[in-house]
């Protein structure tokens, strides 16, 4: 902000100056005393003395008119402060007598907060002694009000933070600890991997319910071979629910160590058992000694997928499936359909029993690769429906199939 300069070349109408003086309560700006009229020159012979007086009077009037300064009022202040400025400060009176040398004798009255008694002001350093006490009091009141409002907002923010911390502290305490874990869908897991499942449950028990790491618990559960997908949710205030989607066991094979491996359709080993499980299709042929969670290999995955795709009529006759881990060829061993009646040797027909002849003489079926598996199984199903009583070997790896 720079020192305001009075306008040059522009005259302020007298009625405007009068209104400003009336509003601001100031008196007329004192004009400079008129200069004394010069002594009249002695009349010459060419000029009569009678003409001297009017000329002197005219000169004195002109001098008086020109000597009276025109007052220019410049109002300045800080626009950022919405405070009224009172103009009845006695300290401002001397300013009316400060003339501007460049204004041709006109008086400049500068009204603002930046003035001192000398009439000069600095836009940066504002002397407080030129401020009206009422203005100063008003500003102090405004500053105090702003400070109180700022303090109120700060206090409110601190209160909200403390309240949030307190609520979290309460909810994270042992008052809301997990004391109940419900598990659903863990049929095989509870049977074959109960210890691993219980370890995850123990980690969840006693944990504040709001601090339970559900993602971490899900990741830990999915490390169990039987579990394909796990979903862990909290049940406020004290419960946790574990929803498990298990892998489906399809087949089993015996490793070189004599133990049996249960696999799913991906060939993943779900369990390693000492005895043969009778609930799953037995895969015969050389097999690896895979551990739980490992993959047995593509040939065993293809065999498990074949077992999963068997129609019920074929599945009821299948005794085992063969796997060639080197070539990937697949096969089936089918038991012959049990006769409903047999000759007891005396010419009498009696119901067939479990020891009826032909039950221990399986039919070998060559499937070949898993390519076009559905078509191969469809040809085998048609042959079974046509009858396989006198059949020893069926090859459905080619079309048409061969029967012997």
* Rounded mean pLDDT, 300-308: 97
* Rounded mean pLDDT, 94-106: 49
What does the alpha-carbon distance between residue 213 and residue 256 come to, in Å, rounded to a whole number?
Answer: 41
Give the pLDDT confidence score for residue 302 in this predicted structure: 97
What does the alpha-carbon distance between residue 40 and residue 58 come to, in Å, rounded to a whole number?
Answer: 12
Count CB-CB contacts under 10 A for residue 148.
Answer: 10
Q: Which residue has the tokens 């979290």?
A: 168
Give the pLDDT confidence score for residue 389 in this predicted structure: 85
CB-CB contact of 358 with 339 (8 Å): yes
Helix, strand, or coil here: 211?
Answer: helix
pLDDT at residue 303 tops 90: yes
Per-residue pLDDT tens over the stretch 341-392: 666 666 666 565 544 444 468 999 999 999 999 999 999 999 999 999 889 9
What does the alpha-carbon distance between residue 10 and residue 199 come to, in Å, rounded to a whole number?
Answer: 96
Helix, strand, or coil here: 332?
Answer: strand
Give the pLDDT confidence score for residue 63 in this predicted structure: 45
**Of the candidates 108, 87, 120, 114, the residue with the CA atom closest to the CA atom of residue 7:** 108
What does the alpha-carbon distance between residue 326 and residue 203 come to, in Å, rounded to a whole number?
Answer: 44
- Dihedral in degrees, nearest 10, Cα atoms 337, 343, 348, 354: -60
Give the pLDDT confidence score for residue 93 in this predicted structure: 53
CB-CB contact of 301 with 267 (8 Å): yes
What is the third-level CATH fold of 176-246? Ubiquitin-like (UB roll) (3.10.20)
Give the pLDDT confidence score for residue 390 in this predicted structure: 87
Going from N- to C-terminal start, the domains of the chain cover 14-138, 176-246, 274-403
Per-residue pLDDT tens over the stretch 44-63: 444 444 444 444 444 444 44
**Of the candidates 247, 222, 218, 250, the residue with the CA atom closest to the CA atom of residue 231:** 218
What does the alpha-carbon distance between residue 371 and residue 313 come to, in Å, rounded to a whole number?
Answer: 21
Per-residue pLDDT tens over the stretch 255-302: 999 999 999 999 999 999 999 999 999 999 999 999 999 999 999 999
**Of the candidates 312, 335, 189, the residue with the CA atom closest to the CA atom of residue 262:** 189
Query: Is pLDDT larger for residue 355 or for residue 326?
Result: 326
Q: Which residue has the tokens 């047999």?
A: 342
Residues 6+ apart with CB under 8 A from 272: 259, 260, 261, 262, 290, 291, 292
**Of the candidates 210, 211, 206, the residue with the CA atom closest to the CA atom of residue 177:** 206
* Rounded mean pLDDT, 24-34: 51
CB-CB contact of 208 with 175 (8 Å): no
Per-residue pLDDT tens over the stretch 112-155: 554 455 545 444 444 445 677 888 888 888 988 989 899 999 99
Give the pLDDT confidence score for residue 173 in this predicted structure: 73
Band (pLDDT 50/70/90 cuts) for residue 1 is very low
What does the alpha-carbon distance between residue 167 and residue 160 come to, in Å, rounded to a whole number?
Answer: 10
Give the pLDDT confidence score for residue 59 in this predicted structure: 45
Strand partners for 245: 229
Per-residue pLDDT tens over the stretch 187-241: 999 999 999 999 999 999 999 998 999 999 999 999 999 999 999 999 999 999 9
Give the pLDDT confidence score for residue 57 in this predicted structure: 45
pLDDT at residue 319 tops 80: yes
Give the pLDDT confidence score for residue 166 in this predicted structure: 81
**Of the candidates 106, 126, 99, the residue with the CA atom closest to the CA atom of residue 114:** 126
Give the pLDDT confidence score for residue 52 in this predicted structure: 44
What does the alpha-carbon distance between residue 388 and residue 397 come to, in Å, rounded to a whole number?
Answer: 18
Helix, strand, or coil here: 356?
Answer: coil
How does 242-252 read in b/e, with b if 16+ C-beta sit within 10 Å? Answer: bbbebbebbbb
Per-residue pLDDT tens over the stretch 164-194: 888 777 777 778 899 999 999 999 999 999 9
CB-CB contact of 260 with 276 (8 Å): yes
């Amino acid at each position: 902000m720079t020192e305001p300069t009075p306008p040059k070349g522009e005259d302020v109408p007298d009625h405007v100056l009068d209104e400003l003086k009336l509003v601001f309560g100031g008196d007329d700006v004192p004009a400079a005393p008129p200069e004394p009229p010069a002594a009249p020159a002695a009349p010459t012979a060419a000029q009569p003395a009678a003409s001297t007086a009017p000329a002197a009077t005219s000169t004195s009037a002109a001098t008086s008119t020109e000597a009276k300064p025109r007052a220019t009022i410049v109002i300045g202040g800080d626009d950022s402060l919405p405070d009224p400025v009172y103009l009845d400060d006695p300290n401002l009176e001397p300013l009316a007598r400060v003339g501007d040398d460049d204004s041709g004798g006109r008086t400049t009255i500068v009204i603002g907060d930046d003035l001192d008694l000398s009439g000069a002001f600095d836009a940066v350093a504002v002397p407080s002694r030129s401020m009206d006490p009422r203005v100063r009091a008003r500003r102090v009141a405004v500053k105090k009000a702003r400070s109180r409002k700022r303090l109120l907002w700060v206090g409110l923010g601190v209160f909200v933070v403390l309240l949030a911390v307190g609520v979290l502290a309460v909810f994270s305490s042992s008052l809301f600890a997990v004391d109940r874990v419900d598990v659903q869908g863990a049929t095989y897991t509870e049977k074959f991997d109960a210890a691993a499942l219980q370890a995850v449950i123990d980690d969840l028990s006693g944990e504040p319910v709001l601090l339970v790491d559900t993602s971490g618990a899900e990741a830990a559960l999915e490390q169990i071979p039987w579990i394909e997908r796990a979903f862990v949710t909290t049940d406020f205030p004290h419960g946790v629910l574990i929803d498990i989607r298990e892998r489906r066991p399809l087949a089993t094979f015996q490793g070189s160590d004599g133990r049996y491996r249960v696999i799913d359709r991906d060939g993943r080993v779900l369990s390693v058992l000492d005895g043969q499980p009778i609930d799953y299709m037995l895969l015969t042929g050389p097999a690896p000694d895979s551990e739980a969670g490992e993959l047995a290999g593509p040939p065993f995955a293809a065999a498990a997928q074949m077992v999963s795709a068997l129609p019920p009529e074929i599945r009821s006759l299948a005794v085992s499936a063969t796997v060639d881990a080197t070539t990937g060829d697949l096969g089936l061993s089918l038991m012959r359909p049990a006769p409903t009646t047999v000759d007891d040797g005396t010419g009498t027909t009696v119901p067939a029993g479990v020891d009826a002849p032909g039950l221990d003489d399986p039919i070998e079926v060559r499937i070949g690769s898993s390519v076009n598996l559905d078509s191969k199984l469809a040809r085998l199903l048609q042959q079974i429906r046509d009858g396989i009583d006198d059949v020893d070997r069926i090859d459905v790896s080619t079309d048409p199939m061969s029967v012997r």
